[in-house]
Structure 1
Amino acid sequence: MKKKKIPQRMCVGCQEMKSKKEFIRVVKPQEGDITIDPTGKKPGRGAYICPEIDCFKKAYKSKRLDKALKTAVPHQVYQSLEDRLSD
């Protein structure tokens, strides 16, 4: 039997490669607003971040989400991410 391939992604904060399921995905659809994608299946350009506050702080400080999504990320997206991680 073949072993199933596990998709790997890189965190925009700490730059570590991990399994796709370990991350929180932020997605920018072709039309619409940037949102957090809890399922990881919404269409559009995605950026992945570890569910740790340190990774979020690194990504926020250096605007890595903006670079990964190739657009300016609204402050409310950063705020909702921070609220989600501080729980």
Structure 2
Amino acid sequence: MVRQRKVPLRKCVVTQEMKPKQSLIRIVRNKDGEVSVDLTGKMNGRGAYVSRDLQTILKAEKSNVLARHLNTEIDSSVYEELKQLVDSDE
């Protein structure tokens, strides 16, 4: 009998939906306070997940939800990188 592998789920900080980790983008703040987009999902630091969806990213930028989750200022370049990632996916 083949056991189904458990799919790791994470919650999008904007929509509050539980989704498979692969369908989300992780944003991470390291101990130096630098915020970056974590494509590997393995970087050290405090992480927050956002859906791979342009509307969700725009909503995150507008509501400042990432700044609250990571307890730091989020540079606009991080949001630009997220938008480019989503554009390249579609």
If the TM-score is normalised by the length of the shorter chain, which range does it land in? Answer: 0.7 to 0.9
Matches within 5 A, 1:1-87: 3-31=4-32, 33-87=34-88
Give the length in aligned residue pairs: 87
SS class of match (2:27): strand
Counterpart Cα distance in 1 of 2:10 and 2:71: 17
TM (norm. structure 2) is 0.84
Structure 2 unaligned segments of length 5 or more: list them: none
Structure 1 unaligned segments of length 5 or more: list them: none
Counterpart Cα distance in 2 of 1:73 and 1:59: 11
Q: What percentage of aligned pairs have identical amino acids? A: 38
Structure 1 runs, 4 residues or longer, greater than 3 Å off = 1-5
1:23-82 deviation line (CA, Å, top 9, x unaligned): 111111112521111110011000111111011111111111111111111111111112
TM (norm. structure 1) is 0.87
Contact 1:14/1:58 (CA < 8 Å) preserved in 2? no
Q: CA deviation at 1:3?
A: 5.0
Alignment RMSD (CA, Å): 1.6
